[in-house]
Copies of this chain bind each other. A is one copy, B any other.
């Protein structure tokens, strides 16, 4: 009677599965409570582990947070590539679609929204991470928008840098109101209104 073999897996498999499960529950918990509010015990329990079991895979809470963030950035940038292609490399349209997608993952939106706010303190573990992230993203988008301006897809009376800052600001700001009252705020629709303004349409 050797019923003892349902999870007969190789070590590498177990490790990968565990780490994935931890990242998933850490993502959720950080999203709901932020870094400071999240407890290792909660994350561990959600991953069916004890606290030390969790710490075997990630040596500290800070390490865990950074892994969560890096993983998200990896996934998101892949998604962006695909979205860009799908929209014929029209940058503003791709961004609008990103916002639409964000509406399906409120947890992740909240994760970044809260962590960005927390991380403005210089002693926050993700402080550097987010500053670099904004700089990088803005840099890339400026290029894309300058190109779109040349093609006449985007209004040219304002510098690309300005447009990028405004676009990100609108994205972040709409997220706040949407997270507070998801049913009241049509985040993607409102973002498209802004994108239209940046394209040069006034309607007036």
User: Given the complex of chains A and B, what is the CA–CA distance between A118 and B115 in angstroms?
Assistant: 9
Q: Which residue of B lies closest to A202 (CB)?
A: B202
Residues of A92-127 at the interface with B, using a CB-CB cut-off of 8 Å, are: 110, 113-114, 116-118, 120-121
Report Cα–Cα, A118/B176, bound state, in Å.
11
Contact B158 A193, beta carbon cutoff 8 Å: yes
Q: Which residue of B lies closest to A32 (CB)?
A: B121
Q: Are B114 and A180 in contact, CB atoms less than 8 angstroms apart?
A: no
Query: Taking the complex as formed, is A41 at the interface, i.e. its CB lies under 8 A from any CB of chain B?
Result: no
Residues of B within 8 Å of A37, CB to CB, are 36, 118, 121
Residue contact B180 to A131, C-beta cutoff 8 Å: yes
Interface string of A127-168 (1 = CB under 8 A from B): 000110010000000000000000000011110001001101
Contacts of A177 in B (CB 8 A): 134, 165, 168-169, 172
The 6 closest A-B pairs by CB, nearest first: A169-B173, A173-B173, A117-B117, A157-B203, A172-B173, A200-B204
| A interface residue numbers (CB < 8 A to B) | 32-34, 36-37, 110, 113-114, 116-118, 120-121, 130-131, 134, 155-158, 162, 165-166, 168-174, 176-177, 179-181, 185, 190, 193-194, 197, 200, 202-204
